[in-house]
Every structure is written in C-alpha cells, then in structure tokens.
Structure 1
C-alpha cells in the first residue's frame, strides 16, 4: 500500500500514555478501555495523541487475548467493549488522507481487535465496508477502499471475500469512469487493487474487469504544471479532475497494478477459456520503460521501484534493465538513500535479486521428469528455459551490478535491515560470488563482514538462509588470502568463518536434489583457511573431523580430492597427525585409507595424499603405523615411480622420513624398504628426475639404505 506521506511508520517505537490514559491507570481494565475508546471518538485530536491512544488500545486487546498476558483481575473480555461505533471510528483512521503514522497504529489496533473478536469483528467489518460502498459518495468510497487496502494483509481471506462480493469488482471500472472523478477516489481504489493482487481470485477478477480502465489511465497523464483556470485549479485541489486526465501518482500506481497482472499469468479452470473484456495492449517492456523514467526523474519513486520489482521477473525486461548502466546506478542510489525496513528498500533489493539470480541447477533426471509432466499437461512440446536466463547472460548482469558499486550499499543495509531484506541482500551477494574474478574486490569492499554478520543474525531454524550465506562465504574465501582478511588491524577473527563453512559439509535436508557443490566449495575454503596456522586447523579438526573422514570415501572424485587436500593442510597440526598416528584402531584405518588414495586414478588426489603422508611421516608414530600396513611401504615406493615430478618428490620425502625414523622404527623402515626393492626404485627415480631438490632427497635416502657412505656413493654413480 502506498503511503500518502514520506513518513515511515515504525511500530517498534513505544508510545507513551496520553493524558486521558494517565487518568485511567488506577481504573479497572474495562474502564481503561472505555476511556480510550471515548478519547479516540473525540474530534480534533492531534495525530500524536491519536497514535498513543491507538497503541494503548492495541496493547490492552493483545494482552487480553492471550492466556499468558491476560490480567488475573476478573473482567469482561475487553473486545466486547468495542461496539460498532468504536469499530467505525478505528476503521476511519485507515483513511488514506490520514497521516502514515495514524494509519499504521490504526492497522495494528484493528488487527488486535479482529484477532480477539473473531466472527463478531468480521461481521462489523463487513457491515462497515458494504455500508460505505452503498452510500457511494466520494468520501465513503475513499474510506472503504482505504480500509480494504490496509486490512488485506491482516485478514486476507476476509478482505478477499468483501472484494469479490457480487458486483463490486465488475462495477469498479465503470464507477471510475464518471464524468467528474475524484483523484483521491482513484488513488484509494488503485491502492486497494495493488494490495488485492496478492490474492489469486482477486487478481483474476481485476484482470478480467479492470484491465481496460487501468490501461486507459496509463495512456494518459495530467499536465505537469497546474491549470491556469482558477475553477479547475480549485477542483484539482479539492480532489476532482476532468475525465481523461489523471495525476502522475495515479498513472504510476495503475502501471504497477498492470505489471502485477501481467507477470503472473491467469490460469483458467480446466475445460474453460480465459475471459477478458479486452486483451492487454500495454506490454511489460513499455511498463518497465515507464518505471525506469519515473526512477531517473525522481518521480513516484516507491511506485517505480514496486513496479520494477515485478517487471524485472521477465527475462527480456531484466536484460534490458541491466544493459542500461545509468539505470543500475540510479537504482543503487535509490537503495542507498532508502530508509532501513522501508518498502523502497525491499523493492530495490527485489529488483537486484531478479537481475542477478542464476537458474537453479537441474539434473538430467529432473529435466526428463519435467518434460514428461509438460507433455502430460499440454498438447505442445514444453519450452526450454529462456536463453536470456542462461549463465552467460546472468554473469554479465552480475558484473554490471557489481561495477555500479552495490557491495558497500549492501553492507550498510545489512546492519540495520529486517530479516526479510537481509535474506535478499545475501541472495544478491551469493549470485555475485559465483564470478571468480570479482571475489577479491568483494572481500575488500566488506562482503565477508556482511556475510558473517548475516549468519549470526539469521535464526537457527532458517537453514536455507544460513546455507546460502555460508555458500557465498565459501566462494569468496576460496579466491582470497585469509591473512589479508582476518587478523592484524581487522577485528574479524579467522575462526568466525569456520562455523558457517562446517554447516555446508552436510547435505541440505530441505533440498529435493542432491547438490555436492556447496560441500566441495566449503572444503576448498576450509583448505585455504587451514593453510594459515593451528588457530584455524585445530577448530576444524575438533568440530568436523568425523564429517571430513566420511567425505574421504565420497563417490564423487572432486569431493574426495578436496577432502584429501584439506587433510594435507590439517597434517601441519599435531592434532591432525594424532588422528592418523595415535596408535588407535581408528587411526590405523584412517592411515589405510590415506595410503590407498595415493593409488587413486585422479592425479590431484594422489598428489594431495602424498603431501599428507609427507607431513605425517615426520612423526615416528605415523611411520610405525605405515609399516604395520602390509602394502604401506609398497604404496610409498609406487609414488617414487610416478612420471610426474611432483609425485616423485612426495614419494622420496616419505621414504627418507621412513628410513630416518629414530630407533627401532627406523631400523624396521630400512628393512622393509629394502625388501620392497626400494634401492632399485630410488635409483630409477634418480634417472627420471631433473629437480635438484628431488635429486638431493633421493641420494640422501639411498645413503640411509646402503649404509656405508663410500659404497653408497659408488652405487649411486
């Protein structure tokens, strides 16, 4: 609903008692309620006093309707004290000509009353609405339409029934086409239609009976300057305008309603054809151009943003909007200037979500099922997704939005916005984070701080929002140096990023489709964090090692590879080594798996497993665990035979560590390496290798195996 002023109503600000309420504090609850109702019915009160009395009435009714907050003092249910005249008075405060604050507090009051009174309240509301419509004066229409617009979100089913009562919508268009019309009546009617579009039957009725009238309004516009004729000027000031002309605010609101009608197609009942008085002639592209101009000219900004939020759902419109870089800058500027928790903020964020959102990944099986359903429900072949929504087009739109400077604005809004707007903010950042080349700049501009704050704010039962936040964080951390983001003068602790990333190691229980991408990207981000120091490694080990261990056995080679790479970095911590070398049965089993992965078909997995073993074999307990495995030394020597220098490097490091272990473990290591043909393997490795470090390590290992240094040197030569 569009407000008649720019004032933002904030019900979270408590209202202090009015003078009449102060006098009643020592009275009974019933007397307090009666005094408040009497005060509200007094004419000529200041808005401030009206708001206070409405707020106090709301509190009394709300407290009395709950067993937890109801006063133990014996009293009559307070809603029964609110008679028909009182209801009429409160509903009158919803008049669009009232201030935004009065309308806001009146909405809360009538909501509390309807909740407490049940069918009685609904009956009084219906009588009020029908009475106003039957009287048919300009003032009565304005009040009736304003009431319907205000309470639609409060009691949508009840208001929809009033809206769809026989003849009401069908006669609305002709009613608005009188010879002399009221600008305020038109505006109140449009505000009602705008809100009623949220209900499917209401939207279809509007589409059927009001499209022609709406398009007539969009096609006309009142003069920008006031008319010269004083009588005509007086008529406009009084709220009446000549037929064929409409104020800019009315035209803009009509365009918003048309956009809502077009973006959601009407679904006729089975076996029937859709009825319409006249097909829509104003295209969504035309409407979006109109909204763009309204935004650039600073005209009816709220209507412009609301209309764009719907228009930008269509691929052609979103592509056209994104190609206009000046429009994107205007939109971001409007978002930057919009108050927190305002409709303008939510609308602008919705537009940006539409522009940047990627299509969800769909498996081949899901595609086949969708095709079968489409064939079953339609006579023609199903259409594929619009090419303007493919990855290339969305990536370009994301790049445009990012270059227009969106991240700093989102950071600001994330600190003060509602949970609903914060969800949209995170969705935009998530989409932008898919583009690898801008991740570093996103981090510099505060995206990581934004995401960590969002994760801490989202309720734990909002798992979808938490996972989206964590996934965006993972993507950015993959491509950035953690030491540039955390620590130093930056107040963000590195450990604050670990908890969100660990959430992604489990599959999403709310998703119908198995998606391993969040797991994979979380593993990569954790690997990056684990490259720093034990401050990051130890919390990862303590809080998620069972999950990491399970992912080692994944059927997906990319997930397995990323898990092994993470373990390779975790081996730099003594706590990580202990998981493989503390002598337990579990540690022995883990060592068996890591050794087996050195024989993986995937080169990167073999390399990571070799790196982990190179770190592990620096500990004699780990060497002992390898020697206890039947094929442990065989698998280490196999790495020394690889064609890739990187793998041979890891192999000879492992062998040198085994034969260099102290005491009996080292002696056992020398014996087993010799028995597995280690001397010949290392000599062959010398012939293959060109890297000086690999050559030196191999020579050192051969010396350990051959014992006598002169004899060893001779054999090596």
Structure 2
C-alpha cells in the first residue's frame, strides 16, 4: 500500500494507526478541518510516540490554531476540545520549544475559549494549555496574554468583554502575578457601562473580581473602580449574581485596614446571612454558586456573631462535613469548608500585656478589621464539641490523602483546636486523628514551618493525654511521631514557641515510656536539643526536660551521655545534681529520679556518680528534705552507689552516716534502704 493510500485509510477510519513518516509526508494545514473526534484522538496517540519531527509538530500546531480560530468565528467553541487536547499534546512533548511568535498566535486564539464555562472539558483544556505556555515561555507569556486580553477588550462586544473577564479569572488561578498585571490594564477599568446591563458580562466580571480579591492591591482596585458594578449586582433578583456581589463586598470589607466595628461589620453580617442560607441549603445547591458561598463564608466566619449563627444551625454543620466527606476532589470546596470549621473552633490567643495594649489601640483607632471579638474559652469549647461530634476527625482521616497542601494545613489547625479540650483526645485518637496528623507531617506534605508547628502541636497534645502504646495502631510504630516532636523542640515559626516546646517534651516523655527502641530514637535525635533545654529559663520547659531525661535514662544511649567519664558527661551530671536543688519541686523530683535511674547501670555507673561532689553531696542533702519522694529517690541512688563497691567513698561525706541512722527507724521503704546501706558500712 502506498503512503498516500495509508494516509487516506487513516483519514476514512479504515486504519487505526499511521507511521509518523507518512503523516509528515501528507499532513497539510487544512487537514484538521475534516477531522472527527476519533481522528483527533488517533492523531494525538501518534504524537505521543515522541518520534515526530519539529517541523511536523509546528505544522500540526499551526493547523490546530487555524482550526480553533475558525470555530471561534463560527461560534462553535464547544467543538474546540479535541483541538485543544492536540495542542496540549504538542506542548507537553519532549524538548518542545515555544517561540514568541507561536506563543502570541496561540494565546490570542486560546483566549477566545476562556468563556466556555458550561463545558468543563473545554475549560479544563484551556487551563492546562495556558499553564503550559506560561511554563514553556515564562518571559514572553505575560506580554502575549496581555495582548490577547487587550484585543478582546478593544473588540468591545458583549461576547468579547465577557470572555476577557473569564480569561482574567482563569489566569488569577493559574498565575496570580500575571492576573494582577492584567487587572491593572486601563482598558479593563474603562469598560462601557452599558455592557454591565448584560447578565453574561456581569456574572463574568463578578467572577473575575472575586478571583482578584486574593491580592491586596487588586482588592483596593475592586473597591474603588468597580464599586458601582458590585453595588448594582447586589440589587439583582438573580441568586448567582447576588451571591457573587455579596462575596466580593465581604472580601473587600473583611480585610480592609479601614474597616471598623460599626457600619462595615454590620454590612458584612447582613451579607453573610445570604451566604449562610445558601450553604445551609446543601441538597438544592448549584455547584458553581456553592463555591462562591463557601468562599465568602470562609471570611465572615471569623466574626463571633456569624460563628454563633452557624453553630446554631445543625444543617450548616452537616453540610460542611458533607463537603469534606463527599467532595474531596473539589479542592476549593474542601479548603473553604475546613476554613469555616477551623474558624468555628479557634480559641482566642493568649495575649501578652504588650499585645493587649496594641489590640486596645487598634480598637480605639478603628483598625481591628474583621478580627474576632475575644470570646470566653467555654463558648469556644462548646462549639468544638459540636464540631467534634460530627465525626469530622474520622472523615478527614479517611479522605486526607486526596487533600491539597492548603487543605492539609487547615486540617492541622482544625485538629489542634479540637484536641485543645483534653476530654476529646481519647476519642480523637480512636477516630484516626493521629494517623491523619502523621500523614500531614510527612516530609513531602508541603506544609510550611508555621503550619508544621501547628499540626505537631495537635500531635503533642494528643500524646500528653493518651497512652501512645494504646493510641498507635499496630500499623504505626511509636518511632514515627518521634521525628516531628523532636523538631518541635527547636521551633522558630510558632506563635507560642514555649508552649509548643513544653507540650512536645511531655509527649516525648510518654513515648519514651513505650519501649527501648523509642527511647533510643529520642536520644539519637533529640539529646543535643534536650541538653540545652535543661538550663531553660522557663520553669515548665526546664521541668519537662528533666522529666524526659529521667525516662530516657533507662536507655544505654542516654546513660552513656552521663556516665562515659568524659568532660561533657561530668558536666551533665553536675547539671542534673544542681537541679535537685531547684526552686521548682517537680523539677527536683525529676532530677533526683534521673540520678536514681542512672545509678541502676551497675558498678561503672557508681564509679562515675561518686566522682562528682555535686552529685554525692546533693544526694546526702536530700536525705534531710521534708519531701518524702525526694528522700526516697536519693536513698535509692545512694544504695546503688554503695552496692557498686563505692561505700568507702560515701562514708567520707560529712553527714552521710548520721543521716542514714536518722532514717532507719520505722517500716517505710526509706527506712529499709537506710538499714541496708548502713550494713554495708560495717
């Protein structure tokens, strides 16, 4: 069969495949005009072999652009899906170079398809093509897209203006910087007002303005240049138009630095009711506009009054949970729903006196923004319980692997809020909360330092109250949470670093009680940080550090840090000995306990302990302390040292024997130990 016959056979459908060489020989710029869907698909498969020449790719791309432009003129935009897929196949082919001229031509025609919002297939192809051209030629893409946008606006028809706004919306989602650049175009701010009498233009414009509100500078432009358009849209009887307008006004007012707690807040509360009603009506939703309502509510739910209204409507909570459970592939929905739930459960931060004064000044100056009023913790705790009772933790643990990075971060904040109440922690673990947190904390999860600190805080809070050996399933080793908890010991990104460090220490202390491998892992990863924290100026952090050392001292790796006879080891022993005389009594008990555990390591341990005057004299001093727990720990340590063939050294210490004689009377554990040691002195 000749090459021409092969090509004709491919064109009429008799053949499903075609050698690339034959395609190169007979393909012409007009060929695509006769293609059907099946032929487009087969041509795309041929290009996927990556053996087509650069000339053939250029010819097919030019033909596809011509085909797309022709369809756009004939108002057959929905038929462009297959050609767009072909364009994308070429753009994603190996080592493809997109020159400026081709980019200009491609941008001008792809822009024409930006407003096919009723055809998700076409829209998704447009998004992928735009994203790819920006990637392939980042330096020229802004100019090419600006030119395409300008052409649409200069056309000055209802269709072209609507398409220009639709293109802007897509670009804000693909490349916020390019979107911001195009939003500053003078032509966009001087559109003929009569165009906004068209619902098509109004909706397209409002969607673009809503997308633009992600940027601070763009929000200012929206508030000034488009206030009349938004205000008029708010009067509309059409729900989609009114929802969009409400969402835009909320975004511009909610984050305004000039927002007060007077008129603007009242306006936001009124607008929020419209969004609340729409979110509440989950079963009768229209997906496109449900997104708008969720986005707006993610802002207004920062307000205390909105929180109270939302929590009082059980169907709203049910709707938000249903979004997370059933629509986890729709990332904007899930992210917004999680933001709302997080806002509902957010405890007011503990303010330092300086922060409190600054807040009062902001309130006085009218610059507090949409910042929530400080609520009593009891009110927040009650809301947390209602949210927790929806089984949201179990749902997140089931679907979190489908989450975007933003949804993971927000889930971490939500879970931190929910486990702030100690009574919820056991059920939190049962519902799979720990597994979800550990998934969010994987190295490749994409969380930034602050988000990681918040998520780790939730993990620490849980392990403080729930026995790790019970909380961790058979599939999760107790070694897994050690890494993130150790990282928390040197956290810089946290708003409450001392609290986060303190809670991480407590969690690690509980993990250290699980088994030897857990203790060894903690010593290997955390000891350098822990050694620094032993001398912390914060009383609670220092106490928790000593308590962790006490548990870790059962590990040979930890014991070596204190008992290997080196200079650093001797210094560490001296530090622990000094802490037995600290002002904080729990710290003293933990330090004495650490020495007692270290003394269990036999004769070599006894030799090293007795070499330290601070250790031995400190222990003898504890024998006369009023705290029986301290006396017992000191007595255990001295007995172990004595049994390690070091009794002769102990006898030399002033007051040692006299203290033992005073303690030997009675039937207590201390009296029994004192008698045993006294016998060794004979």
Band the TM-score falls in, shorter-chain normalisation: 0.7 to 0.9
Residue 57 of structure 1 contacts residue 109 of structure 1 at CA under 8 Å; is this kept in 2? no
Aligned to 2:674, the other structure's residue is in SS state helix
Matched with 1:226 is none
1:614 to 571, 596, 604: 596
Residue deviations 1:612-641, cap 9 Å, x none? 222222322222223222343332122221
Q: What's the CA shift for 1:114?
A: 5.0
Partner of 2:662: 684
The aligned residue for residue 309 of structure 2 is: 320
2: CA distance between counterparts of 1:505 and 1:497?
13
- 1:19-418 pair list within 5 angstroms: 19-21=42-44, 27-42=52-67, 43=71, 49-59=82-92, 63-65=95-97, 78-82=99-103, 84=105, 86-97=106-117, 99-113=119-133, 122=142, 125-154=145-174, 156=176, 159-160=179-180, 162-166=182-186, 168-169=188-189, 175-177=195-197, 181=198, 183-221=199-237, 246=238, 248-265=239-256, 283-298=267-282, 299-300=285-286, 301-340=290-329, 342-365=331-354, 386-388=372-374, 391-418=377-404
Matched-pair contact (CA < 8 Å) for 1:79–1:113: no
Contact conserved, 2:150 with 2:187, CA < 8 A, in 1?
A: no
1:593-614 CA distance string (max 9 Å, x none): 2222111111101111111222
Deviation at 1:494, TM superposition (A): 0.8
Task: Write the distance in 1 (CA, Å) between the matches of 2:370 and 2:226.
Answer: 33
Equivalent residues of 2:437, 2:459 under 8 A apart = yes
Match of 1:454 in 2: 440
After TM superposition, give the deviation of residue 340 of structure 1 in Å: 2.5
C-alpha change, 1:427 and 1:51, in structure 2 (3 Å) is farther
Q: More deviation in 540-549 or 18-27?
A: 18-27
| Cα gap change, 1:37 to 1:358, in 2 (>3 Å) | farther
Q: Verify: 1:496 aligned to 2:480, yes or no.
A: yes
**Could you tell which deviates more after superposition, 531-540 or 131-140?**
131-140
Q: Counterparts of 1:486-635 in structure 2 under 5 Å?
A: 486=472, 490-508=474-492, 510=493, 515-618=497-600, 619-635=602-618
- What runs of 5+ residues in structure 2 fail to find an aligned partner? 1-37
Question: Could you tell me how far apart the structure 2 residues matched to 1:545 and 1:648 are?
Answer: 28
> Take 1:410 and 1:456, find their aligned partners in 2: how far apart are those partners?
16
Aligned counterparts of 1:281 and 1:494: Cα–Cα separation in 2: 48
The Cα of 1:397 is off from its aligned counterpart by 3.2
Deviations 1:444-498 (CA, angstroms, capped at 9, x unpaired): 11111111112114468933333333222111111111110236xx110111111
User: Deviations 1:166-201 (Å, cap 9, x if unpaired)?
Assistant: 474465665424xxx4x4333222212211223444
Identify the residue that residue 69 of structure 1 maps to in structure 2. none
| Secondary structure of 1:642's aligned partner | coil
Compared with structure 1, are the counterparts of its residues 427 and 657 closer, same or farther at alpha carbon in structure 2 (3 Å cutoff)? same
Number of paired residues? 627
Normalised to the residue count of structure 1, the TM-score between the two structures is: 0.78
Q: Is the 8 A contact 2:256 2:369 kept in 1?
A: no
Unaligned runs of 5+ in 1: 1-14, 66-76, 222-245, 269-273, 708-717
Deviations 1:259-293 (A, max 9, x none): 2122121669xxxxx9xxxx979822222222222
The structure-2 alpha-carbon separation of the partners of 1:26 and 1:351, relative to structure 1 and needing over 3 Å to count, comes to same
**Corresponding residue for 1:668?**
649
Q: Distance in 1 between matches of 2:405 and 2:40?
A: 30
Contact 1:212 1:280 (8 Å CA) reproduced: no
Q: 1:482 maps to what in 2?
A: 468
Cα distance in structure 1, aligned partners of 2:589 and 2:257: 58
Contact map agreement 2:258 2:366 (CA 8 A) in 1: no
CA drift of 1:566 comes to 0.9
Aligned to 1:228: none
Structure 2 CA distance for aligned equivalents of residues 258 and 382 of structure 1? 18
Measured after TM superposition, the shift of residue 48 of structure 1 is 5.4
8 A Cα contact 2:275 2:293, kept in partner: yes
With 614-623 and 118-127 compared, the bigger mean Cα shift is at 118-127
Moved more, 18-27 or 475-484: 18-27
**CA–CA separation in structure 2 for the residues paired with 1:433 and 1:322:** 18
| Partner Cα separation in structure 1 for residue 583 and residue 265 of structure 2 | 61
Deviations 1:138-167 (A, max 9, x none): 323332221222223445455445544447
Greater percentage in helix: 2
User: Structure 1: how far apart are the matches of 2:616 and 2:179?
Assistant: 78
Distance in 2, Cα, partners of 1:34 & 1:191 = 36
**TM-score, length basis structure 2:** 0.82
Alpha carbons of structure 1 residues 528 and 173: separation in structure 2 relative to 1, 3 Å: farther
RMSD over aligned Cα atoms: 3.5
Q: Cα–Cα, structure 1 residues 364 and 220, in superposed 2: closer, same or farther, change >3 Å?
A: same
CA contact (8 A) 1:440 1:479 kept: yes
Q: Secondary structure at the match of 2:475?
A: coil
Give the structure 1 partner of residue 419 of structure 2. 433
1:22 & 1:620 partners in 2: Cα distance?
Answer: 76
| Aligned-pair CA distance for 1:528 | 0.6
- Residues 491/681 of structure 1: CA separation in 2 closer, same or farther (3 Å cut): same
Q: Answer yes or no: is the 8 Å Cα contact 2:553–2:598 preserved in 1.
A: yes
Cα pair 1:322 1:397 within 8 Å, conserved: yes
Equivalent position of 2:9 in the other structure: none
User: In the alignment, does 2:464 pair up with 1:443?
Assistant: no
**Which of 451, 456, 459 does residue 473 from structure 1 map onto?**
459
Query: How far apart in 1 are the matches of 2:342 and 2:648?
Result: 65
Pick from 693, 696, 699 the counterpart of residue 669 of structure 2.
693
CA distance in 2, matches of 1:654, 1:195: 68
Q: Residue 409 and residue 47 in structure 1: after superposition, are their counterparts in 2 closer, same or farther (change >3 A)?
A: farther
C-alpha contact 1:79 1:116 (8 A) present in aligned 2: no
3-state SS of 1:660 partner: helix
C-alpha separation in 1, matches of 2:139 and 2:530 = 57
CA distance in structure 1 between the partners assigned to 2:440 and 2:140 by the alignment = 43
- Equivalent pair of 1:113/1:121 in contact (CA under 8 Å): yes
Going from structure 1 to structure 2, the CA distance change for 1:387 and 1:146 (only over 3 Å counts) comes to: closer
User: Is contact 1:325–1:404 with CA below 8 Å preserved after alignment?
Assistant: no
